[in-house]
């Protein structure tokens, strides 16, 4: 567990003995314009599409998984549903990542925390996501993984931030909340920042495929 940077003592842990329900929110509603469209259906070396790889890696870390897709993206929705994800159609996806995130959280407002992951990051390890989720279950309020001096994904939020998450819009996603509530952020060290390779272009896809083969 990382040591808090302030002198405030925080006691983590669920004293009730009941496992807290962390809900995964996989954001897969982007248009992929820089890629030329359809990037989340582009296949990795194992034959699974980018979003499917990200989905399967997230499932072991969470107690429930919601995949947020664009209206009309039935092919992607079918593949993610086959992985075990619930599907949330973001009718306002054109308003940006924040709107998609809010739609996903709104489908599970009773969660004991939310783990926000990106569908175009197929290299994020299940072990990293599990560490973030376990920190939430242990009482952390906002959790981010860090490696090589960088913050990455997924990002975890405790229930007290439900109103903030539901109010999100635009392309910034949850980044504004990390700044607004910086004193509440707990950083979890993980091994390799290359896992946060996001696929925005065909060149990014080539890099992700090469790194995936090495993993």
Q: What is the mean pLDDT of residues 40-44?
A: 94
Q: How confident is the prediction for the chain on average, in pLDDT?
A: 88
Which has more confidence, 46 or 16? 46
Minimal CA–CA distance to 113: which of 146, 158, 81, 53? 158
Whole-number Å distance between alpha carbons of 165 and 57: 23
Q: What is the pLDDT of residue 38?
A: 84
Query: Residue 39 domain-assigned?
Result: yes
Query: Residue 71 domain-assigned?
Result: yes
Query: 85-111, pLDDT tens digit by residue?
Result: 999 999 988 899 999 999 999 999 999
Q: What is the pLDDT of residue 168?
A: 94
Query: Residue 10 domain-assigned?
Result: no
**Which range scores top for mean pLDDT: 84-88, 148-152, 206-210?**
84-88
Q: What is the pLDDT of residue 2?
A: 35
Place of tokens 């989720």: 133
Query: Residue 1 domain-assigned?
Result: no
**pLDDT of 63 above 80:** yes
Q: What is the pLDDT of residue 1?
A: 33
Query: Residue 104 domain-assigned?
Result: yes
Q: What is the pLDDT of residue 171?
A: 82
Domain of 195? 23-214
What DSSP assignment string belongs to 39-51? GGG-B-TTS-BHH
Which has more confidence, 95 or 22? 22
Q: What is the pLDDT of residue 12?
A: 34
Query: Residue 207 domain-assigned?
Result: yes
Which has more confidence, 198 or 88? 88
Rounded to two decimals, the pTM is 0.89
Asked if 149 and 192 count as a contact pair (C-beta separation under 8 A), the reply is no
CATH code: domain of residue 139: 3.90.550.10
Percent of the chain scored above 90 by pLDDT?
68
Query: Residue 106 domain-assigned?
Result: yes
List Cβ neighbours of 156 (8 Å cut-off, separation of 6 or more): 22, 113, 114, 115, 116, 132, 133, 135, 136, 140, 142, 143, 144
Query: Residue 11 domain-assigned?
Result: no
pLDDT grade for 193, boundaries at 50, 70 and 90: confident
Neighbours of 116 (CB within 10 A): 23
Asked if 122 and 44 count as a contact pair (C-beta separation under 8 A), the reply is yes
Burial class (CB in 10 A: 0-12, 13-18, 19+), 149: exposed
Tally the domains of the chain. Answer: 1
pLDDT grade for 17, boundaries at 50, 70 and 90: low
pLDDT grade for 7, boundaries at 50, 70 and 90: very low
């Amino acid at each position: 567990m990382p040591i808090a940077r302030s002198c405030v003592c925080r006691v983590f842990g669920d004293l009730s003995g009941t496992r807290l329900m962390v809900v995964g929110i996989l954001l897969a509603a982007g248009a992929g314009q820089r890629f030329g469209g359809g990037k989340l259906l582009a296949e990795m070396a194992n034959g699974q599409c980018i979003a499917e790889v990200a989905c399967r890696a997230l499932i072991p870390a969470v107690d429930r998984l919601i995949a947020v897709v664009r209206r009309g993206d039935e092919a992607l929705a079918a593949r993610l549903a086959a992985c075990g994800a619930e599907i949330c159609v973001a009718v306002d996806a054109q308003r940006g990542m924040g709107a998609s995130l809010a739609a996903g959280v709104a489908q599970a407002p009773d969660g004991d925390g939310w783990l926000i992951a990106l569908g175009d990051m197929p290299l994020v390890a299940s072990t990293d996501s599990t560490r973030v989720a376990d920190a939430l279950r242990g009482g952390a309020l906002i959790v981010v993984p860090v490696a090589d001096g960088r913050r990455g994904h997924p990002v975890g939020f405790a229930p007290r931030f439900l109103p903030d998450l539901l109010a999100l819009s635009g392309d910034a996603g949850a980044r504004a909340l990390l700044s607004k509530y910086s004193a509440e952020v707990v950083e979890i060290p993980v091994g390799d920042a290359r896992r946060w390779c996001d696929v925005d272009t065909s060149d990014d896809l080539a890099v992700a495929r090469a790194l995936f083969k090495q993993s």
